[in-house]
Amino acid sequence: MSLNSLERTLDKVLSQKESELISEIDSALQNSLKNLESSKSTLQVEYDAIIESSKKQAENLKRQIIGSSTLNARNKELIIIESAIDEIFTKAKEKLAQSNNEKNYEKLLTKMIQDSVSKLGSDIVIQCNKADQKLVRKISSQEPTGKNMKISVSDDFLDIIGGIKATSVDGTMTLDNTLDSNIESLKPLIRKAIVQLLRGEKK
């Protein structure tokens, strides 16, 4: 084979290879562009999913923050209101404790004793606080529920703000008619009224 024909063959092979390579590169380029194009939509889906999930997370976080802040604020309000209620009750009790000289108080005690006799029978023992003992003795001696009664006033004083505690002589039944226990049983209703006043719902 001559040198020329060898060169021609080499050129032919080279140009063939060149065109093959170019076509491969072209096809790779096309593939890459296609992949890029298809990736775009996949990426867009992923991007949308990430954005969507972040939005959801942000929404959840917002709900959590608002929820817990509202609740915390409300709970603090409840605590403040409760301390105001306690203060009001303390002052009211102090005032009631000083009211045993009033005429109405004697009427109240008379009614309490009558109540005790009607519920426990005519033979009862009454306990009260030290300050009320004289008044209770006086009312008992006036036979407030008629004759044939045996009301004894105990020297065992109660630490209460007022009212009486009556016990049947056999000690099996007790009627707690102290102001303390009455306040306690009416406390839910009184609390409601106080809260309405504090919140301006009632004047």
The contact set with other proteins (CB under 8 A) reads: 56, 60, 63-68, 70-71, 74-75, 78-79, 81-82, 85, 172, 174, 176, 188, 191-192, 195
Residue 129 or 167 with smaller CB distance to other proteins: 167
Half-sphere exposure of 124 (CA within 13 A, CB side): 26
Residue 20 or 184 with smaller CB distance to other proteins: 184
Structure tokens at 26: 């072209």
Identity of the residue numbered 130: K
Residue 138 or 187 with smaller CB distance to other proteins: 187
Give residue for tokens 């929404």: 59
The Cα 172–Cα 181 span in angstroms is 19
Nearest in space to 90 (alpha carbons), one of 180, 176, 157, 177: 180
Residue 34 or 119 with smaller CB distance to other proteins: 119
Is 154:125 a contact under the CB 8 Å cutoff? yes
